[in-house]
Structure 1
Amino acid sequence: MNDNKTTFSASEWLRYTRHIQLPEVGAAGQLKLKQAHILVIGAGGLGSPVALYLAAAGVGHLTLVDGDVVDTSNLQRQIIFEHDQVGQSKTTAARARLLRLNPEICVDAVETFLTPDNAGELVATADLVVDCTDNFSARYLINDHCCARGKPWVFASIQKFFGQCALFAPGGACFRCLFPEAPANVEDCNSAGVIGVLPGLLGVLQANEAIKYLLGLPTPLQNNLLLVDALHLEFRSIQLTRSDDCAACNNPASAPELPRQTAPLCAADRGKHSVLSPAEFRERFRAGDCVLLDVRGPAERQAFHIGGRHIPLDELPQRLAELEGEETVLCYCQSGVRSGKAVALLQQQGLNGVSLDGGLLAWLRCSRESLENN
């Protein structure tokens, strides 16, 4: 690794030659990238392509922040990880991958989630922040600290086949201008699902805008929100304007002290009437005084199930009579969202329902861990 930030080593010159040949980049622009420090918050679906492309581009210092570990369900879209890294810290595993890709750069792995306690220090040291999180709490935290310190940041969000992306820079509209309050009825990828290539598409856009901003090139996503529809392959841009009522924009120094905006609980967390962990759910079923109920759709049921009766959630109101007389109905689905709704419906009718917390995803993780420990 060449620690000299004003010159290139022979290997660096060869590595970045295609950049250097671009008149818009050149040797001077590549040095800007080498001297830059980017904070990547979140090492998941978005963070994977962002980190890979920034590392490959020669951004000299990357800091990855994420407190999660690699899970098998991540591998469908989080392309920085491999199967044998399941169970490892995401930031540690990602750091190793990035240094294999480009040993000429510095990569810090911060094995924790972004919090009000660490956000200020992390943001302060970076030249630019890339938001690769999946929740509004973290985005408001990033926004407020970036406003206070005059730091640019690149936002993206993904769900199902749809994504959003924007660049928030000093002097322009901020995230609170766009979302003064967190939208209601927010689902995350765990409950709504996401096509595997979508975070790659949005992550590449984030990396592209981050690199262009550092190079001083035009960045069309500044003061614009890009809406991406990967299902119909449609792109639409909405111009953003700075709000006169935005506390973060009007008084940036006090932004970190603003009341924390938190997203409404996702559907999996709302109305947890009766929820059991996979281990508790299994023990309850073994007690024998209950019935197991799969509330997923027919195709899901046919593809995989753990037994029990099958009544899809949309048919449950008309088929409640089939469950009368049962002492307890143990409901399960893919992620715990539909089973939670089923339990609420059962309890409205005076029936005793319990939901599998985390759904089949949690059940399979628990089963895998039990096998590994035995």
Structure 2
Amino acid sequence: MALEDGIEELRRSAEHRGGFDIVPWELCRKIALREEIAPGAVERAALEKGLVPSRYERSLGTLGIAGQARLLASRAAVVGCGGLGGLVVELLARAGVGHLVLIDGDTFSDNNLNRQILCTEADLGKAKALAAAERTKAVNGAVEVSPFPGFLDADNAASLLDGCGVAVDCLDNHRSRRILFDACARMGIPAVHGAIAGFWGQVGTVLPGDRTLLDFWGDQAPDKGVEITTGNPPFTPALVSSLEAAEAVKVLLGMEGILRHRLLWFDLRVQEAQTLPLN
């Protein structure tokens, strides 16, 4: 009954803009606090009644009310919260993915300052997963967060990924990727892959049962790639993170056009991109 009263309060506050009934997100939060309800539950209930929290207003033309409600009911894992994962976390939180599982056993060091959006001079030594959780709550308090300041391994993968609709690969080594891809295949979870090296980057999406890029390489793939030599400037991870976040949202919403059986590869030095078939 308390939530129903809150929805009526939201309905009275609604403004019709752009074909939608927009309600103040701050009022959603006040109702949640007053009634001791999770903020995300209030936002989901509002959307189900056709009332859109104002924070999502600019997403509606792309995602729609039903899509936004589906995102808020979704759970996604971000595996690696550094150069790629830090921005993926931010983008998924802003998009309104309702529950984020953040996995990373590393801490920030000074060589992360050039590219990792969560790393500031004041954060050196802080656990990346915990920093990602703090940032998520600061960006969107309606998002539930489950940080795990440890590394994904064969023993914990199933419990960490349980219930996730997608897992985003923001790792920097193939050993951990194999663990992630194997767990996702067993559990029926789509995986969005991203990797960077210097001016180069690549993105692809693997659905359960698909072969991965590591399958094509077999045992010949080294654990680390050419990024050992090229390093990673700030702009390449920003682009790959955005592409990964877009793929993750499309997967969660069941949209067409994902990079399945394909690898989007690009070279920012010469501003060229190509889609490579994986079959």
Q: Do Structure 1 and Structure 2 share a fold, with TM-score over 0.5? A: yes
The change in CA–CA distance for 1:70 and 1:239 in structure 2 (over 3 A counts) is: same
What aligned pairs does 1:77-92 form with structure 2 within 5 A after superposition? 77-92=115-130
Cα offset for 1:153?
Answer: 0.4
Instruction: Check the 8 A contact 2:76/2:100 in 1, yes or no.
Output: yes
Q: Which runs of 5+ in 2 are unaligned?
A: 1-38
**Aligned residue for 2:237?**
199
CA distance in 2, matches of 1:136, 1:185: 5
Structure 1 residue 125 displacement after superposition: 2.6
Separation in 1, partners of 2:212, 2:42: 35
2:68 corresponding residue in structure 1: 30
2:137 maps to 99
Q: The residue matched to 2:218 in structure 1 has which SS?
A: coil
Matched, 1:149 2:192: no
TM superposition shift of 1:174? 2.9
Separation in structure 1 between the aligned mates of residue 247 and residue 207 of structure 2, nearest angstrom: 12
Q: In 2, are the aligned partners of 1:167 and 1:209 still within 8 Å (CA)? A: yes
Tell me the number of residue pairs that the alignment of Structure 1 and Structure 2 aligns: 239
TM-score by length of 1: 0.60
Who is 2:149 aligned against? 111
- Shift of residue 228, structure 1, vs aligned partner: 1.4
Distance of 1:77 and 1:42 partners within structure 2: 14
Contact 2:77/2:166, CA 8 A, preserved across alignment = yes
Q: Which residue of 2 aligns with 1:291?
A: none
Q: Could you give the per-residue CA deviations for residues 306-350 of structure 1, whole angstroms, max 9, x where no partner exists?
A: xxxxxxxxxxxxxxxxxxxxxxxxxxxxxxxxxxxxxxxxxxxxx
Q: Work out whether 1:132 is the aligned partner of 2:170.
A: yes
Report if the CA contact (8 A) 1:41-1:130 is conserved. yes
Shift of 1:40: 0.3
Flag the structure with larger Rg.
Answer: 1
Aligned equivalents of 1:59, 1:178: Cα separation in 2: 32
Distance 1:185 1:112, change over 3 A: closer
For residue 193 of structure 2, give the secondary structure of its aligned residue in structure 1.
Answer: strand
More contact order relative to length (CA 8 Å, sep ≥ 6) = 2
Aligned pairs for 1:255-270 (under 5 A) are: none
Q: Secondary structure of the residue that 2:65 maps to in structure 1?
A: helix
Q: What is the alpha-carbon distance in structure 1 between the residues aligned to residue 59 and residue 225 of structure 2?
A: 39
Q: Does 1:166 align with 2:223?
A: no
Asked whether 1:14 is paired with 2:50, we answer: no
Match of 2:105 among 64, 67, 72: 67
RMSD: 2.1
User: C-alpha distance in 1, partners of 2:173/2:192?
Assistant: 15
Q: Distance in 2 between matches of 1:12 and 1:87?
A: 39
Q: Is the 8 A contact 1:70 1:88 kept in 2?
A: yes
Q: Contact 1:134–1:188 at 8 Å: present in 2 too?
A: no
Deviation for aligned residue 1:146: 0.8
CA distance in 1, matches of 2:224, 2:139: 36
1:68 & 1:185 partners in 2: Cα distance?
A: 17
Query: 2:51 and 2:96 mapped to 1: Cα distance?
Result: 12
> Residue type of the partner of 1:56?
R
